[in-house]
A and B are shown apart, each in its own frame.
Chain A
Amino acid sequence: MRIVVAMSGGVDSSVAAALLAEQGHDVIGVSMQLYPSTPSGRSGQAPGAPMSDRAYGTCCTLDDLHDARRVAHALRIPHYILNFESRFDDAVVSDFVREYVSGRTPIPCAHCNSDLKFSALLERATGLGAGALATGHYARITRDEAGGYHLLRGLDHGKDQSYFLFTLTQEQMARAMFPVGHLDKDTVRTHARRLGLRVADKADSQEICFVPDGDYAAFVERAAPELTRPGAIVSEGGRVLGTHGGVHRFTIGQRKGLRLSSSDPLYVTHIDAATARVTVGPKESLGRVSLTASDVNWTSGVAPVEWRNIAAQIRHRHTAASARVRAADDGRADLAFDEPQTAVTPGQAVVFYAGEEVIGGGWIE
Chain B
Amino acid sequence: MRIYLDHNATTPPAPEVADLVARVTRDVWGNASSVHHFGQQAKGLMDDARGQVADLLGAEPSEVVFTGGGTESDNAAIRGAAEALEAAGRRHLITTAIEHEGVLNTVKALARRGWRVTLVPVDATGIVSVDAVTAALADDTALVSVMHANNELGTVQPVEAIAQAARDRGALFHTDAVQTAGKLPIDVRRMGVDLLSISAHKFYGPKGVGALWVRRGVRLTPFITGGRQERGRRAGTENVAGIAGMGAAAARARQKMATEGPRLAALRDRLERGVLAVVPGSDRNGAAEPRVPNTTNISVERIEAESLLIGLDLEGIAVSSGSACSSGTLEPSHVLKAMGLPHARTLGSIRFSLGESNTEAEVDRVIAVLPGLVEKLRNLTVTMKR
Interface residues of A (CB under 8 A from B): 28, 33, 37-38, 40-43, 45, 47-54, 62, 65-66, 69, 78, 80-83, 119, 123-124, 126-129
Contacts and interface: CB of A to CB of B under 8 A. Distances in A.
18 contacts: A33-B329, A37-B329, A40-B108, A40-B325, A41-B331, A47-B119, A49-B119, A50-B118, A51-B111, A51-B119, A62-B327, A66-B327, A81-B328, A82-B306, A126-B380, A127-B376, A128-B307, A128-B310
A83 B330 contact: yes
A123 B376 CA distance: 11
B302 interface: no
A40 B119 contact: no
Given A50-B118, A53-B111, A129 B314 contact: yes
Contact of A38 (B116, B326, B337, B380): B326
B375 to A, nearest CB: 11
A83 B376 contact: no
B101 A40 contact: yes
A28 to B, nearest CB: 7
B119 A48 contact: yes
B94 to A, nearest CB: 11
Contact of A83 (B122, B306, B337, B338): B306
Contact of A37 (B96, B311, B327): B327
A199 to B, nearest CB: 17
Contacts of A123: 380-381, 384
B120 interface: yes
B111 A119 contact: no
A52 B116 CA distance: 9
B186 interface: no
Given A48-B121, A83-B330, 15 more contacts: A33-B327, A40-B108, A42-B331, A45-B119, A47-B97, A47-B119, A48-B132, A52-B111, A53-B111, A53-B112, A65-B329, A69-B328, A78-B313, A81-B329, A129-B314
B251 interface: no
Interface centre among B105, B117, B327, B337 (most CB of A within 10 A): B327
Interface in B207-251: none
Given A28-B314, A47-B97, A81 B108 contact: no
Nearest to B105: A40
Nearest to A51: B111
Contacts of A33: 327, 329
A38 B132 CA distance: 30
B325 A41 contact: yes
Interface in B78-113: 96-97, 101, 104-105, 107-108, 111-112
Contacts of A42: 331
B377 interface: yes
A42 B97 CA distance: 14
Contacts of B118: 48, 50
| Highest count of chain A CB atoms <10 Å: which of B121, B310, B330, B380 | B310
Contacts of A78: 313-314
Contacts of A52: 111
B334 interface: yes
Nearest to A56: B112
A65 B325 CA distance: 13
A38 B307 contact: no
A2 to B, nearest CB: 9
A135 B96 CA distance: 44
B8 to A, nearest CB: 19
A121 to B, nearest CB: 11
Contact of B327 (A43, A51, A81, A124): A81
B311 A47 contact: no
A52 to B, nearest CB: 8
A37 B338 CA distance: 21
A124 B330 CA distance: 15
A123 B117 CA distance: 43
A126 B327 CA distance: 24
A50 B119 CA distance: 7
A240 B380 CA distance: 56
A286 to B, nearest CB: 42
A124 B96 CA distance: 35
A119 B105 contact: no
B117 A51 contact: yes
A47 B340 CA distance: 10
A12 to B, nearest CB: 21
A363 B325 CA distance: 38
B108 to A, nearest CB: 6
A40 B334 CA distance: 10
B384 A128 contact: no
Contacts of B381: 123
Contacts of A128: 307, 310-311, 314
A69 B329 CA distance: 12
Interface string B306-336: 1100110110000000000111111100100
B314 A65 contact: no
A27 to B, nearest CB: 12
A273 to B, nearest CB: 33
A127 B117 contact: no
A123 B379 CA distance: 11
A127 B377 contact: yes
Contacts of A80: 310, 313, 328
Contacts of A127: 307, 311, 376-377, 380
Contacts of A48: 97, 118-121, 132
A52 B111 CA distance: 7
A50 B117 contact: yes
A9 to B, nearest CB: 11
A268 B327 CA distance: 43
Contacts of A82: 306, 329
Contacts of B331: 41-42, 83
B207 to A, nearest CB: 19
Contacts of B307: 124, 127-128
User: By CB atoms of chain B within 10 A, which of A65, A127, A128 has the most?
Assistant: A127
